[in-house]
A and B are shown apart, each in its own frame.
Chain A
Amino acid sequence: MSRFFQAEVAGNIHLSQTHNILRITPLQPHVSPAPGQFYLLRASETLDPLLRRPFSILRWDDAHLEFLVRLRGGGTLLLRNMMPGDGIDVLGPLGKGYPEPLKDETPILVAGGVGIASVFPLIGSLHAGTRLFYGAMNSAELYLLDDIKKLAGHIHISTDDGSKGFKGNAVERLNESMDDLAVAKPTVYACGPEGMIASLLKVLKDRGIPGYISFEEKMACGIGACLGCVIKTKQGYKRVCKEGPVFNVREIVH
C-alpha cells in the first residue's frame, strides 16, 4: 500500500469553461482516503508548471478517485485537458480530514465554490438532520447539485448574484437561519474561499458554535517538509498539509 502511485485517467467531465471532474484509476495498491483529505496531482513531467497541485478528494470507490478541478493556471489546465487513458502521478491521501461527527450533534456543512469538493464526502455519511449550506458565484457554478440532492435532506442554496436561492454567500445564509434552526448541538464542517472562511470564523465565535474548517494555502511538498503551507494557530504556525487541512476553529488565530 502506497501513498505515491501511478494512476490512469478513467474519465474527465468538463462541467463548464472553468471546472472539470477528473476520475482516475490507481494502477497500484493505494490507501483509501477519509473525508477532508487531499491529494497532490501531477499531470506531466514538465518543468513548468513544476509543482504538484492539491485537490480535496471528492468521491471514491475501490477502483477510482474523483477530484473537482477549478481552472486557475498552467497546472490545472494540464489536468483539465487530460484524456481517458492518460497517466497521472498521484501523492495521497494527505493530511488530516474532518473528525467523525459525534452522535448527538447536528452537523452543519458549509461550502463555498469548489469548497464543495472537500465537504461532499460528508454529505451522504451523516444523519438525516444534517444541514448543508452551499454557495457559489451564480447558479451555473453550483456544481454537483443533482448528486447532492440525492444525498442530503436539508439544503440551503445561495449565490452571490442571487440567480438561485439566497442572494449572498453561504455564511450569510447560515447566519440568517441560525436563530430559526433550533437544532441540537450544531457543529460546523466547512470549506470555502478566504473571505467566506473569515466571516464564518466570526459567526462561529459570536454564536459560540464549534466547528472544523478545511484551510487552503500555497503548498509545495504536501508531506510536511517544506513548511511552505503554514497558517497561524494559537500554538504557533501549523502546516496545512500535515496538521491540517482541517483545523478545529478553536485553534485558529483570526
Chain B
Amino acid sequence: MNVNLSVNIGKIGLKNPVMTASGTFGYGEEYAEFVDLAGLGAIVVKGLSLLPREGNPPPRIVETPAGMLNAIGLQNIGVESFIEEKLPFLRQFNVPVIANFFGDSMDEYVGAAERLSDVNGIEGLEMNISCPNKQAGWLVFGTDPETTFEVVSAVREVTDLTLIVKLSPNVTDIALMARVAEDAGADAVSLINTVSGMAIDIKTRRPKLANITGGLSGPAIKPIGIRMVWEVFRAVGIPIIGSGGIMDGEDAIEYMLAGATAVAVGTANFVSPAATMDILSGIKDYMTTYGIKDISSIKGGLIWER
C-alpha cells in the first residue's frame, strides 16, 4: 500500500514523522554508520549553548525499571564549534536539521538563537526551557508561565526559523505552558522532556547520580507523555512533537492518536542505534494493517467521547 508519511512542523516539511530527541543522537555523525540519516523526518541535535559546557561529574546515568535517569548537565561544544565542525557533515544529508539550544539567561537564549539563525543548513530551532538538571534560578524558564512567555517572545523576535518550544513535564499544568508558548509565537511544541527523578544506592546511602537528581526517560514515562500530549492537543492549535519512551511503531502511533503530529525518539536510540528506522517501519505496518493512507489522518484520533 502506498502511504503518505509526510508531515509539517511550522515551515519544515518532514518526509516522515520520525525525529530524533535532542541529547540522544549526538550531532548525527555518531549514528551515520547505523542509520540512513536521510531517511529520518528530522534530526534534532544535542542541546547547544553560546559557550561550551563541561557538564556534570560522573556517574551521569543509571538504569531504573524500564527507564534510565540521566544528569549529563548539558555538556556541549557550543554554538560556534557546532556550526564549524558538525553542521557541514549534517548538511550532506537530505534531512532537516533542528538545533536544540538553551541559555542561562535571556541574553544567552537570544544570542544563541540569533547566531543559529544566521547560518545555512539549520531549518528549525528547538528551545530547551525544561532541562531538569540545572539549578533553581534557571529552571524558572520552563515552569513559570510569565518567564516562559518573555523568553519565547524574545527568541521569536530574532528568528524566522521554525521555532519549537520543548516543554517540561515537571509542571502542574502543561496545557497552560503550551498555550503560553503558542501565544509567545512558537510554531510548535515538543513534549515531554525527562521527568525529574532520583535513585539511591542503599548499601552506600549515596545517590546513584553525582548530580543527586536527574531526568527519567524510557518506557517508564510513556504514559505520562501520552497524557500530556493529549492535554496539550486540546489546548493549542500548533503542531505537537510527542516524545517519552517511544520504543516501537506502536508507541509512536499511540502518541499520534493522542495528538502528536510527529514523534521524537530518544532513549530507544541507546538501546538500538537503528531504533528510528525500526519505528518508522512499524508505523508503516500499522498504516497498512488499518488501511490508513495518510499519517496525518490519525492525529488526535483518540475516540474518547462516550
B68 touches A225 (CB 8 A): no
Please name all residues of chain A whose beta carbon is closer than 8 Å to the beta carbon of B62 when the two chains form the complex: 218
A50 touches B24 (CB 8 A): no
Given contacts A224-B26, A225-B24, A217 and B66 within 8 Å (CB-CB): no
In the bound complex, how far is the Cα of B59 from the Cα of A227, in angstroms? 11
A225 touches B271 (CB 8 A): no
A224 touches B58 (CB 8 A): no
A51 touches B271 (CB 8 A): yes
In the bound complex, how far is the Cα of B35 from the Cα of A4, in angstroms? 11
In the complex, per-residue mask of B15-43: 1 if CB is within 8 Å of any chain A CB, else 0: 00000000111100011011000000000
- B57 closest partner in A (C-beta): A232
A50 touches B72 (CB 8 A): no
Contact of A237 among B25, B26, B55, B219 (CB under 8 A): B55
A237 touches B273 (CB 8 A): no
- B222 closest partner in A (C-beta): A47
- A221–chain B nearest beta-carbon distance, Å: 4
Contact of A50 among B26, B30, B34, B271 (CB under 8 A): B271
State whether the Cβ of A3 lies closer than 8 Å to any Cβ in chain B. yes
**Count of B interface residues, CB-CB < 8 Å:** 35
Contact of B68 among A4, A50, A237 (CB under 8 A): A50
Contact of A227 among B60, B66, B272, B274 (CB under 8 A): B60
Which of A3, A91, A220: most chain B Cβ within 10 A? Answer: A220
Given contacts A220-B68, A237-B55, A42 and B271 within 8 Å (CB-CB): yes
B59 touches A218 (CB 8 A): yes
Contact of A51 among B26, B57, B270 (CB under 8 A): B270
Given contacts A228-B60, A228-B72, A48 and B65 within 8 Å (CB-CB): yes
In the bound complex, how far is the Cα of B124 from the Cα of A141, in angstroms? 55
Contact of B67 among A50, A219, A226 (CB under 8 A): A50
Contact of B247 among A47, A52, A236 (CB under 8 A): A47
In the complex, per-residue mask of A169-185: 1 if CB is within 8 Å of any chain B CB, else 0: 00000000000000000
Please name all residues of chain A whose beta carbon is closer than 8 Å to the beta carbon of B57 when the two chains form the complex: 232
State whether the Cβ of A88 lies closer than 8 Å to any Cβ in chain B. no
Please name all residues of chain B whose beta carbon is closer than 8 Å to the beta carbon of A142 when the two chains form the complex: none
B60-100 interface with A by 8 A CB criterion:
60-63, 65-68, 70, 72, 75
A4 touches B59 (CB 8 A): no
In the bound complex, how far is the Cα of B28 from the Cα of A40, in angstroms? 20
- B245 closest partner in A (C-beta): A47
A48 touches B66 (CB 8 A): yes
State whether the Cβ of B157 lies closer than 8 Å to any Cβ in chain A. no
A208-224 interface with B by 8 A CB criterion:
217-221, 223-224
In the complex, per-residue mask of B171-184: 1 if CB is within 8 Å of any chain A CB, else 0: 00000000000000
State whether the Cβ of B153 lies closer than 8 Å to any Cβ in chain A. no
In the bound complex, how far is the Cα of B211 from the Cα of A230, in angstroms? 14
In the bound complex, how far is the Cα of B66 from the Cα of A48, in angstroms? 5
B31 touches A226 (CB 8 A): no
B273 touches A91 (CB 8 A): yes
Please name all residues of chain A whose beta carbon is closer than 8 Å to the beta carbon of B219 when the two chains form the complex: 47-48, 50
A221 touches B247 (CB 8 A): no
State whether the Cβ of B4 lies closer than 8 Å to any Cβ in chain A. no
A218 touches B67 (CB 8 A): no
In the complex, per-residue mask of B44-62: 1 if CB is within 8 Å of any chain A CB, else 0: 0010000000110111111
A50 touches B66 (CB 8 A): yes
B54 touches A226 (CB 8 A): no
Given contacts A50-B218, A51-B68, A223-B31, A237 and B269 within 8 Å (CB-CB): no
In the complex, per-residue mask of B264-276: 1 if CB is within 8 Å of any chain A CB, else 0: 0001011111100
B58 touches A226 (CB 8 A): no
B273 touches A226 (CB 8 A): no
- A224 closest partner in B (C-beta): B30
Please name all residues of chain B whose beta carbon is closer than 8 Å to the beta carbon of A231 when the two chains form the complex: 58
State whether the Cβ of A105 lies closer than 8 Å to any Cβ in chain B. no
A225 touches B61 (CB 8 A): no
In the bound complex, how far is the Cα of B70 from the Cα of A229, in angstroms? 11
In the bound complex, how far is the Cα of B222 from the Cα of A218, in angstroms? 23
In the bound complex, how far is the Cα of B70 from the Cα of A230, in angstroms? 12
Q: A residues near B, CB below 8 A?
A: 3-4, 42, 47-52, 89, 91, 217-221, 223-232, 236-237
CB pairs A–B below 8 angstroms (11 shown)? A4-B34, A50-B218, A223-B31, A223-B273, A225-B30, A227-B55, A227-B60, A228-B60, A228-B61, A228-B72, A231-B58
With A52-B271, A226-B70 given, can you name 17 additional A-B contacts, CB distance below 8 Å? Answer: A4-B34, A4-B273, A47-B66, A48-B65, A50-B66, A50-B67, A51-B68, A52-B270, A218-B59, A218-B61, A218-B63, A220-B267, A223-B273, A224-B26, A225-B25, A229-B60, A231-B58
5 A-B pairs with the lowest CB-CB distances in the bound complex, closest first: A225-B26, A228-B61, A220-B270, A221-B270, A48-B66
